[in-house]
Chains A and B, each alone.
Chain A
């Protein structure tokens, strides 16, 4: 199905199933522990051996010698895989560093060996018996120090409009400030894990992967085998946040291990390895300049960002939202990329916007204060309904103002004291903060197969993944709505490369595109069904398990009485996304208390008002948003991969050292979705929401801390040591 004109009225608009706060259809499996994750697929193939990954002990250099004798001789050891034994390997398109290092080492904990043994404990013990000699080389590990040498990244030119420099220089009110965000880790619950089994030259991988199609291609490219010989199966994923967009060393090494062992091998990355072995959100240094008239109109806005990555890596696109969020005739964005020898930087929930808004939305707060304006008023005044770099391109929908205004009302923003440090409740300094949330809506093609059987059961198959987001449920809702059957007549099967290729899960594009693809396949099936049942002239109605037209009704199941009916189709997008800017918006509101003695920050209330097109399932969407708000709070207050700048690695590489919010950190969270449909996004009229929830939260927390204390911290995370010197004397 080609989507080339804005959606008219269609079966989804009935909203009998779609749009309802339905419980997850996979909920019972999850809560009873019976949804099998990759590492738990004990049943799928017999004789599974255990692989344990050994990570490099240096950040940069070469292996000069590997002594495997003790490990080989250890009890239970079946085989050991290294770059040397594996032979020539390619590298996946989505990987920057090699997944199996040696003799050259590109980053700390890069995999250098896999020990395969009869038991997990034997494999782990033997891995520690491998003796590796290294020749270390000096590397670059400090972004601030490497900033000078950073260059323009390939494919990421500077953007702008008008004459930023003159306009900024001439602006009566100016802000020029620099902000930093640290490296962060996805810290998902389920570690990267895979089971590999070969059957001749055919490989099956049960794995945890957000993007099945990318995975197949990259495994093929790395192993130098045809794509047809690879099957990836990933029906349940215990969180990804971008950390499982790409094939990682668990999958590659399981495949190599299974080949070498001559039997299936399972590999999970152990927790202390994950941080440095896999990807992370790169740190940024961001300079923001805003010039405005005295009455608060932005005349110049500039955002530059520096980040680092391994050679041939990519920048953190932290300036993305600044191209689109606020009006202003004179504009500049620029990204510079430094070469760092830290582990590979890559996508983490809302790459670009998440750290970008952490900076931009403090800058807006600072600017509002300079202007003596309410920060919400300042944002409203500078709203734009068109792409400010290309004013001929309108937004498909943009209700940022409504988000901010409704949020202000709901949150009691009017009670906020504009003068910082003016509210005290016992030991707490109390403040409120606001920030705009913004994240683009990305459209990308997505296909599905839909089958109807003689019982009237509709089965949907697509290689789409559910990374804990609720995909199973919204796909079932879409199919139920379109085929006119109750939810319990729909079976959803996901995450298998044998199924039609979907958009996958990432960039909050999953919900809208995957359901649109299912909708397309269902519409094709409807046509075939209508024909089969003899509804030739008119488009019949599909509802309540019946197909009907003009008083004539036939059970849907009848269409499959002589055998299953199936249809495969997908959604493909023409150029509406080029003609219209498609984005999602939020107003984030936060109240904090700061302990006047210790500087400990504790959140008291959080509210997000979101405008993100049709909300397919308010319950799962809310879960996404509150989870993202929690992650945003973590980014604001505690999450930081601490870099050892001498040795070149993230030191706090386990969940004791890398702190993410605990329950006690998260207060009452409220989420409001504006009633919105966006016919330009897809036939579903929906957009993404899973990343919008994190975008802007950090700055709302930072602004609330400023309002509470009068201390402006521009370096995340805002830990108490950054406040301590500025807190009031204790009586």
Chain B
């Protein structure tokens, strides 16, 4: 860990302005990801701006019937919120499928969205990694890749985004609200928050330097059966091999299809961002096979992780079955 200075920001705008102007400044929220990375010197901030005291820790209803989730709301509190549990069940389920109780007590909404990949080579500073050290090469490609991505990847990086929460937010069409260093604010559809790696895998989001996430908003509830199915090698405390977030409206059996009126689906564990292809969703009526074929069209798995494609299809099939039941 490099020596660093520390301050508590006075307001969101103050935090953003300082983060943009002080060299090497970095926000810290729960610290559950950042501190681990600092210990390994994967992140070496010179200055930490603590955003915990900014009052961004409430969940409020929006005028149009949705929810506005403060950036500093803890994962545990978000998962337990009665409104979330009633109307956005997929989010609650995704949250409790992540990490551990202790971590969720500290982890924040914004921190969770911005957590970095779990690629094992990214975590080993001896190994070349384009994400950690731009231009050094990717040591995962050709190496141990079982947990890595199958789609949206590039020749420079095949890492996945590890968040469960973000996958649920993606099917919920969430919007990320920010404050920029100049004091202005903007709203970013969650679909646009994370970038695909291309030839610059170290640039992971569209946020500009110093831009602070203040909240995530959810549109008014859409109903439907809301499911999150996370598949992993052990029963808890593991990142997803594949996860499926789905909102499915059963048609009560009179729709002529396979019991589904409409649905949305996003995948975790397969790509550098929550993976959703809206056009594929029209095929949910035909079943998991057709939907997954479109969702993962153009996938470029490695021999070690090719199983994720079949796994995604079968997991989606199980989710659809459960939604109809």
Contacts and interface: CB of A to CB of B under 8 A. Distances in A.
Nearest to B139: A647
Contact of B123 (A272, A599, A600, A664): A272
Interface string A66-94: 00000000010000000000000000000
B144 A651 contact: yes
Interface stretch (B105-113, B270-278, B315-323): B315-323
A319 to B, nearest CB: 29
A652 interface: yes
A654 B120 CA distance: 9
Given A128-B41, A644-B144, A724-B311, A651 B121 contact: yes
A642 B123 CA distance: 15
A718 to B, nearest CB: 10
Given A125-B3, A724-B311, A600 B144 contact: no
Contacts of B315: 597-598
**Most chain A beta-carbon neighbours within 10 Å: one of B125, B238, B239:** B238
Contact of B314 (A121, A637, A664, A724): A724
A720 interface: yes
B143 interface: yes
A121 B142 CA distance: 35
Given A597-B318, A730-B288, A730-B314, A661 B231 contact: no
A114 B60 CA distance: 53
Interface in A607-643: 637-638, 642-643
Contacts of B146: 642, 721
A637 B121 CA distance: 23
Interface string B182-201: 00000000000000000000
**Most chain A beta-carbon neighbours within 10 Å: one of B120, B237, B321:** B120
A665 interface: yes
A731 B321 contact: yes
12 contacts: A272-B124, A597-B314, A642-B120, A642-B144, A647-B143, A651-B120, A651-B121, A664-B237, A719-B233, A720-B231, A720-B307, A724-B310
Interface string B87-120: 0000000000000000000000000000000101
A656 B118 contact: yes
Contact of A665 (B120, B143, B234): B234
Per CB-CB distance, the 3 closest pairs between chain A and chain B, nearest first, are: A597-B318, A664-B235, A57-B126
A654 B118 CA distance: 11
**Most chain B beta-carbon neighbours within 10 Å: one of A57, A602, A644, A659:** A644
A646 B118 CA distance: 21
Contacts of B121: 651
Interface string A261-287: 000000000001000000000000000
Contacts of A657: 120, 123
Contacts of B231: 598, 600, 720
B235 A721 contact: no
B127 A647 contact: yes
A725 B235 contact: no
A727 B234 contact: no
A124 interface: yes
B40 A272 contact: yes
Interface residues of A, number: 41
A121 B41 CA distance: 11
A730 B120 contact: no
A714 interface: no
Given A272-B40, A638-B234, 14 more contacts: A75-B3, A128-B41, A272-B123, A427-B318, A597-B314, A600-B232, A642-B144, A647-B143, A652-B144, A657-B123, A664-B237, A720-B233, A724-B307, A730-B288
B318 A730 contact: yes
A70 to B, nearest CB: 12
A720 B311 contact: yes
B279 to A, nearest CB: 23
B1 interface: yes
Interface in A117-168: 121, 124-125, 128
Interface in B287-314: 288, 307, 310-311, 314
A643 B120 CA distance: 12
A662 B234 contact: yes
A653 interface: yes
Contacts of A719: 233
Specify the main secondary structure of chain A where it touches its partner.
Answer: loop
A415 interface: no
Given A272-B40, A646-B142, A659-B238, A654 B314 contact: no
B209 interface: no
Given A598-B311, A721-B307, A653 B124 contact: yes
A75 B3 CA distance: 10
A663 B310 CA distance: 28
B2 interface: yes
Contacts of B238: 659, 662
Contacts of B317: 597, 730
Contacts of A125: 1-3, 41
Interface string A558-602: 000000000000000000000000000000000000010111101
A598 B318 contact: yes
A128 B126 CA distance: 10
Interface string B137-153: 00100111010000000
B28 interface: no
Contacts of A75: 3
Contacts of B233: 637-638, 659, 719-720
B286 interface: no
A663 B100 CA distance: 11
A643 B125 CA distance: 17
Contacts of B40: 272
Interface string A649-673: 0011110110101111100000000
Nearest to A667: B235
B241 interface: yes
B236 interface: yes
A665 B236 CA distance: 8
Interface in B1-25: 1-3
B139 A598 contact: no
Interface in A426-485: 427
A589 B40 CA distance: 43
Contacts of A651: 120-121, 124, 143-144
**Most chain B beta-carbon neighbours within 10 Å: one of A121, A595, A600, A661:** A600
Nearest to B128: A647
Interface string B53-84: 00000000000000000000000000000000
Nearest to B321: A730
B314 A727 contact: yes
A642 B120 CA distance: 10
A671 to B, nearest CB: 22
A543 B315 CA distance: 66
A106 to B, nearest CB: 16
A164 B120 CA distance: 46
A661 B233 CA distance: 9
Nearest to B315: A598
Interface string A703-722: 00000000000000001110
A598 B231 CA distance: 7
B42 to A, nearest CB: 11
B139 A725 contact: no
Interface in B234-262: 234-239, 241
Contacts of A124: 1, 39
A7 B231 CA distance: 55
Nearest to B127: A647
A599 B311 CA distance: 9
A342 B125 CA distance: 19
Contacts of B288: 730
Contact of B236 (A643, A647, A663): A663
